[in-house]
Amino acid sequence: MSAADTPNHFIRTMISKDVAAGKHDGRVVTRFPPEPNGYLHIGHAKSICLNFGMARDFGGVCHLRFDDTNPVKEDLAYVRAIQEDIHWLGFEWDALRHASDYFEVFYQCARRLISDGKAYVCDLNADQVREYRGTLTAPGQNSPWRERSVEENLDLFTRMRNGEFADGSRTLRAKIDMASPNINLRDPAIYRIRKIAHQNTGDAWPIYPMYDYAHCISDALEGITHSLCTLEFEDHRPLYDWYLNQLDLKANPQLADSLQGADMDIPISRPEQTEFARLNLDYTVMSKRKLVELVSKGLVEGWDDPRMPTLSALRRRGVTAAAIRLLCDRVGVTKQVTVIDYGVLEGCVREDLDQHAQRRMAVLDPLPLTIENLPEGYAATIEVANHPQQPEMGTRELSHGRQLYIERSDFEEEPPKGFKRLVPDGNVRLRHIGIVRCVGVDKDAEGKVIGLRATLYQPDEAPKVKGTIHWVCAEHGRQATVRLYDRLFNVPDPDAGPGSYIDHLNPDSREVIAAAWVEPAAAESEAETRYQFERIGYFVSDRREHRAEAPVFNRVVSLRDSWGKG
Ligand code: ATP
Ligand code: MG
């Protein structure tokens, strides 16, 4: 990427200044920290492009860290899918980490907080904790367990760790300020008891650390300099700083002794958190809870159903990684919460595919057309360009006989005003073949047009015509399944109500055409090849189901933005 294409934004400016000032010894270390409880979606792409992009642009490093502190919803299948998606987007991590790699350090740090009188074991249950917490306008109340002695706290915490207490019966809490105007600082939980196996650490731990506590320590241990996260963590930043200031890991590296021998080559840092606005897209939902629900209720056909906003679905839909990166550049990085028009994504896809997708012909709603003045068994092979503006994309052979299919909508018996395609006794250009005249219209008993007869003009006798239509040869072409996808929801904000977002699913978001026709050079492509089907749109051969003998194409996007225009 040249400097001119590199979008400037407040985070880039901040990092530039930090590097120039020699902050963090001039290092730039970022991380992308997904929780492995679902597939990555297009919102995550913004965070990926930002974190990996900043490391790349400043000669730094970026870690992939699985934020796996809540084993209830986490799964190894998600871990694998997340890695695959990041690679597909075009990024490579410098180190792969897990928050669970640091469970022993978190534990030692918690003991330190207890010893320093900064944390206590609390016996309130979840409802009581809520009552004591207060509200936005009323301060909270101290827990009756807040003044336990260090010895008692250390003993109880050891026993929590040893699995002596029931789930939810106790928590370890930070002792900060129950009257703080920031509710996050009202003695937040550090550890909860949860006797459940973890995908990485098995049964080793009956207690699990809370996100805010684990995240800042993980950042420091990995030498992260710039901890970039979304705006909802802005109110958590004081807590992020509080933990790091209490523990001062740079001055107390012995707290991380359990990591000795681990491949941790970057010195412990004092990271700083900076927040940016999420990427929101209209006509979709992005919360993982909802995406999980769409999949588990069978409302879509899995995580990579081409209508889903997940990266694996967008990929299957035929969206390119380059188009997603372009979207992220265009949207920019700000603190302004906005909702991006779905059309902006589609525009990025068209822009990329217009340049990079070869052209092919396909007919989605076939109407037979016989060129009567060609002899039975006639076959001609022509060489045609794969891309009208890009000769370096080469040519392909295209054969035809006398029996073709054209698009049903390219013929009108009673044409509306301005119709430039085929009409009875009218002329039209068949792309790459020449100009034909419609000399006959065949109908079934109900009057439905079932075939056209035409004659091909000699090139020097052909009249001038205004319209050009595409075709597929019935003898040389192949039948194909084509799936037309559209927006998964039929309202811009499915979460806005009334009712559930599920009520707003677009019933027409998927149309399957079982008997479309495509030219052989499309059928014989590898899976996951993108084409512009001329005059129709951009399509991709399905990465799971496409076979040369049984071609399957997904529509990536139509040629033009016609959403909402009937
Ligand atoms: P959910 O709340 O739906 O579970 P999440 O934000 O918790 O999603 P994580 O796996 O924790 O998902 O996210 C990993 C990283 O990606 C975080 O740093 C998060 O801030 C960022 N991220 C998630 N969604 C978006 C988004 N829509 N735009 C930009 N960044 C995002
Ligand atoms: Mg999260």
466 is catalytic: no
With 50 as the cut, is the pLDDT of residue 212 above it?
Answer: yes
Structure confidence by residue, pLDDT tens digits, 259-275: 998 888 899 999 999 99
148 is catalytic: no
Domains in the chain (CATH in brackets) are 3-276 (3.40.50.620), 288-356 (1.10.1160.10), 360-558 (2.40.240.10)
Q: Is 177 exposed, middle or buried (0-12, 13-18, 19+ CB in 10 A)?
A: middle
From the CA of 233, which ligand is nearest? Answer: 1
pLDDT at 73: 87
Name the residue with the closest Cα to ligand 1, atom 13: 34
Distance of CA 103 to the CA centre of its chain: 30
Q: What separation in Å is there between the alpha carbon of 252 and the centre of ligand 1?
A: 31
Structure confidence by residue, pLDDT tens digits, 214-262: 999 999 999 999 999 999 999 999 999 999 999 999 999 999 999 998 8
pLDDT at 6: 72
With 50 as the cut, is the pLDDT of residue 192 above it?
Answer: yes
Residue 198 per-residue DSSP state: B
pLDDT at 2: 45
Of the candidates 278, 420, 431, 453, the residue annotated as catalytic is: 278
pLDDT at 21: 98
Structure confidence by residue, pLDDT tens digits, 92-139: 999 999 999 999 999 999 999 999 999 999 999 999 999 999 999 999
> Residue 325, Cβ neighbours under 10 Å: how many?
20
The structure's pTM equals 0.95
Of the candidates 288, 317, 325, 487, the residue annotated as catalytic is: 288
534 is catalytic: no
Give, for ligand 1, the residue of 32, 35, 54, 224 to mutate: max count of ligand atoms closer than 8 Å to Cβ: 35
Q: What separation in Å is there between the alpha carbon of 278 and the centre of ligand 1?
A: 8
What residues are in contact with ligand 1 under a 6 Å CB criterion? Answer: 33-35, 43-44, 46-47, 67, 229-230, 278-279, 286-288
Structure confidence by residue, pLDDT tens digits, 288-335: 999 999 999 999 999 999 999 999 999 999 999 999 999 999 999 999
Name the residue with the closest Cα to ligand 1, atom 29: 278
With 80 as the cut, is the pLDDT of residue 25 above it?
Answer: yes
Give, for ligand 1, the residue of 86, 98, 230, 276 to mutate: max count of ligand atoms closer than 8 Å to Cβ: 230
**Atom of ligand 1 at shortest range from CA of 278:** 28
pLDDT at 560: 85
Query: What is Dmax (Cα atoms) for the chain?
Result: 103
With 90 as the cut, is the pLDDT of residue 150 above it?
Answer: yes
Structure confidence by residue, pLDDT tens digits, 454-495: 999 999 999 999 999 999 999 999 999 999 999 999 999 999
Structure confidence by residue, pLDDT tens digits, 420-463: 999 999 999 999 999 999 999 999 999 999 999 999 999 999 99
| Strand 61-66, strand 95-98: pairing | parallel
Distance of CA 453 to the CA centre of its chain: 48
With 50 as the cut, is the pLDDT of residue 1 above it?
Answer: no
User: What would the two tokens of residue 70 be?
Assistant: 């809540």
With 70 as the cut, is the pLDDT of residue 213 above it?
Answer: yes
Name the residue with the closest Cα to ligand 1, atom 31: 44
Q: What separation in Å is there between the alpha carbon of 555 and the centre of ligand 1?
A: 28
Q: Where are the beta strands (DSSP E) in 415-476?
A: 427-430, 434-443, 449-456, 468-469, 471-473
Judge whether 195 and 206 are in contact, CB under 8 Å: yes
